[in-house]
Amino acid sequence: MSTAKPRAWPPRTTRARATRPRPPAKQTAQIPDAVVGHYARLLNDSGIMPLIDAELGTRPGPPGLPIAAVLTCLLLSINHTGKATLVEAWRIAAFCLSGAARHRLGLPDINPADVHQVLASSRRFYRAFDRLTTVLDPVRHDRRARLPQHQADALAAAWEHDDPAHSRKRQLLQDIVTALVLTPVRWAKGRGYLRHFRGDVGIDTTAAPVFARPPRARRSTGELIASTEITAGWHHSAGNGPPEYGYSATLTVAARTRPALGSFPQLTLGLVLDTPHKRIGANAITTLKPLATLGFPTGFAVADRAYTDQQPGHFAQPARELGYRLALDYKVDQRGVQGSAHGALLIDGSLACPLMPDRLAQATTGLDDAAIRTPSDELTALISAREPYLLRLKQSPNTDGTVRFQCPAAGTSPSLTCPRYDRLHQRGPNRPTAVDLTDTRQRAAHPAAKPRILPPQPEHKTAELPKICQQHTITVSKDDLGHLDKFRQDLPYLSPSWRGTYSAARAMTEGLNGRLKGHDVDLADPKNRLAHGRVAQTILVALLVAVANDHFLDQWRHTHQPPDEPDTPADIFETPAERLDRSPLTGRSRPPPVP
């Protein structure tokens, strides 16, 4: 056994002390004018200030601080500190801007040594933000007091019912959110960075917790008092984590599900903040509608099981009307045979021959999520064996949503042979032809290589047969499946094409959710959004996502476009009338840390 003493640690040298991490300084260094101008331009290009000014109208009294200056300082606060708090934004407005930047934003100069001027400046800053939240709130109330639950419920009803005045306020707030989130997206499209985007999107709902406490009963009287966030609720995620009290943020993400010629920045294309588990499908459609105005193509809309559960008129049918194809997942009790239309079976979202073998039709019935995520070789073989029995698309959806499908035994290249089809449509037996056994395509096209339908014995009468067996094709409207139309999707479930589409889009969606809850910008930390009220929370979340989009765009540009490379050509999906934005992306980078 060694008796050597352990070697002592090296002495603390000056160099070692200099390399230790240090806490950040309490005061941010002066922000460069280029950064201030960048975010002032983002706010100006969003076009929300004319909407806000029109809603404010002519108000009595002093004009107060410009709301545009308050929102610009909030953007700067998110960029530099990751916090969308008024105290950080005011600190930047008061102490971290140059005189020229303050003048351009309309902020008066203050003497930092004069306590009264500093206090008056902060109050004017808070009152300016309060003017904005007041004018956009459908029903104004004291957001600092916890009201009795019955009074809070009466106020929260303004966010639910269809009163025209309240609906107009809610729509105006959503227009502001959409404009903020899409401004970096329009910049990216104008510079040609989204020319490889093919319109595939991932849709998900994530928690946006609030700092307010949930409702509780008073200890003294037992009276139930509401939260200061009267429209918040418990957000239950699909995982095993505990629920979070706050709001649900519906996010639509630019995804890539197919091989493309190049990459494009991963951006948030839509945002809606709402009470948890309410209007899930409608909020997703709200995020999809503005994308048509940007000239983007429509591809696959990939969503999880929360959207599969929505009524067809809330999500599936409006998404198809917008031109999107669906890639969906199912719960355990939703897998397998889900229904029928005109005799064709709806099996895991795809219409199939009514005589598909039961072993294939029930291949996924009762399987849990683990068996679906990591399918066995037997399940993979059964899924592949389903393909010849699936109805083939004959005609894409028309304006009223009807789709035409063809029997798999019909046409010049049938995928299976069916004695019932041959008998009803008087198709004689094929004449024997020579087949080159070395040719893969000839072997696969021969009837002997295709599955053969085994009709029941005794066979049904012609009048009793399903419609799909009596005709070559069937027309399926959006009402033929009723509420089961929410299960219909455009790719065979668990097939290689479905896995490539669904897995890629879900990975990108979860990846962007993780980036929104990262170190620079953390949507999951309620301390980064301390202002009370749904209007304030909605605006602050929109500002967070807008800055995050700006960060993602800047990071992608520095990775994929060398500094000396000129801007790329126009987006191939862009109309000639659009004006390209050729201004360089400068000034967004953060200043170096304070020494």
Instruction: For residue 486, give the DSSP letter.
Output: G
**pLDDT surpasses 80 at 106:** yes
What one-character DSSP code corresponds to residue 199?
Answer: S
Sheet architecture: strand order including 337-341: 337-341, 344-347, 350-352
- How far is it, in rounded angstroms, from Cα 113 to Cα 109? 12
Retrieve residue 76's tokens. Answer: 């700067």
Across-strand partners of 249? 206, 273
> What would the DSSP string read from start to end of 442-459?
HHHHSGGGS-B----SSP
> Between β-strands 403-406 and 337-341, what pairing exists: parallel, antiparallel or unpaired?
unpaired
Percent pLDDT > 90 in the chain is 57
Rg (CA), the chain: 30
Q: In this predicted structure, what is the pLDDT of residue 575?
A: 33
Return d(Cα 536, Cα 132) in angstroms, integer: 9
Could you tell me the CA-to-CA distances from 277 to 48, 301, 314 in Å, in that order? Answer: 28, 20, 13
Rounded to whole angstroms, how far apart are CA atoms 159 and 231?
8
For 138-182, the pLDDT digits (tens) are: 888 877 788 888 888 888 888 888 889 899 999 999 999 999 999
Distance CA(39)–CA(247), nearest Å, equals 27
Tens of pLDDT, residue by residue over 43-57, are 999 999 999 999 988
348 pLDDT exceeds 70? Answer: yes
For the chain, the farthest-separated pair of C-alpha atoms sits apart, in whole angstroms, at: 101
300-303 and 325-327 as β-strands: parallel, antiparallel, unpaired?
A: parallel
Q: What is the pLDDT of residue 211?
A: 92
pLDDT tens readout for residues 517-545:
988 899 999 999 999 999 999 999 999 99
Q: Omega of the bond prior to 458 within 30 degrees of 0, cis? A: yes
d(CA 343, CA 321): 25
Confidence (pLDDT) at 432: 62
pLDDT at position 571: 35
Instruction: Quote the pLDDT of residue 3.
Output: 58
- Which is more confident, 58 or 497? 497
What residue spans define the domains of the chain? 332-429+437-481
Whether residue 431 has pLDDT greater than 80: no
Angle between helices 67-81 and 33-46 (to 10 degrees): 120
In 10 A of CB 280, how many CB atoms? 21
Q: In this structure, which amino acid lies at residue 404?
A: R
CB atoms within 10 A of CB 133: 20
User: What pTM value is reported for the model?
Assistant: 0.86
- Check whether 591 has a pLDDT greater than 70: no
Closest by CA to 502, choosing from 28, 494, 225, is 494
Cα of first residue to Cα of last residue in the chain, in angstroms, is: 49
* Rounded (5°) CA angle 276-266-494: 70
Distance CA 25, CA 30 (A): 12
Q: Closest by alpha carbon to 137, among 163, 162, 164, 168?
A: 168
Beta bridge partners of 133: none
Q: Are strands 244-254 and 233-235 parallel, antiparallel or unpaired?
A: antiparallel
**Mean pLDDT value across residues 354-383:** 93
- 572 pLDDT above the threshold of 50: no
| Whether residue 231 has pLDDT greater than 80 | yes
List the 392-395 sheet strands across, edge first: 392-395, 403-406, 473-476
The pLDDT, as a whole number, for residue 582 is 38
CA of residue 307 relative to chain centroid, distance: 12
The stretch 65-92 carries a mean pLDDT of 94
Handedness of CA 38, 251, 182, 504 (dihedral sign): positive
- Is 17 a residue whose pLDDT tops 80? no
Beta strand 300-303 with 201-209 is parallel
In the DSSP assignment, the letter for residue 148 is: B
Separation CA 73–CA 43 (nearest Å): 11
Check residue 279 and give its pLDDT: 93
Q: Mean pLDDT of all residues in the chain?
A: 85
Q: 423 to each of 342, 400, 409, 420, 545, how far by Cα in Å? A: 20, 34, 12, 5, 62
User: Tens digit of pLDDT for each residue in 560-571?
Assistant: 765 554 444 333
